[in-house]
A = this chain, B = another copy of it.
């Protein structure tokens, strides 16, 4: 399966070490999703959505690990139970808040990808999981252990 960028992210992060991660991280950084001119018509009516899913590639990741110790814990977990960049398919997923649209530039809050990251897709965020049903597995346990 071949994928191609539909745009690139402009973010404050030049290196993975600069991206906030780990416990209690809040992604408040602002950035711009620059959609390529040829795909700009696909943005019609996007301004009405408060939040968007952004699919992108961990373009600096090479290879993958099926288990690993995430920054939020001191124990290993399976890659599909973490947000590790070293995934079989290195696709990142971020929910961002849409601040404003300027032509083919989406100004957003909540970026956590590197500057220059290729964007694969943008989708509207439509609904939440009921809070009463949400369980956060090992992450909630790791947080509890730290308290």
In the assembly, what is the distance between CA of A120 and CA of B90, in Å? 9
Q: Which residues in window 46-79 of A have CB below 8 A to B?
A: 46-51, 53, 55, 57, 66-67, 76-79
> A residues within 8 Å of B by Cβ?
1-4, 6, 35, 39, 41-51, 53, 55, 57, 66-67, 76-83, 87-89, 91, 93, 95, 97, 118, 120-129, 131, 133-141
Query: In the complex the two chains form, is B44's CB within 8 Å of A133's CB?
Result: no
Name the B residues within 8 Å of A51 (CB-CB). Answer: 129, 133-135
A39: chain B residues at CB < 8 Å are 66, 80, 88
Contact of A43 among B6, B45, B50, B80 (CB under 8 A): B80
A83 contacts which chain B residues (CB < 8 A)? 123-124
Chain B residues, CB < 8 A from A41: 66-67, 78
Set of chain B residues within 8 Å of A77, measured between Cβ atoms: 44-45
Q: A3-B89, A42-B80, A89-B120 are in contact. Are A128 and B126 (CB under 8 A)?
A: no
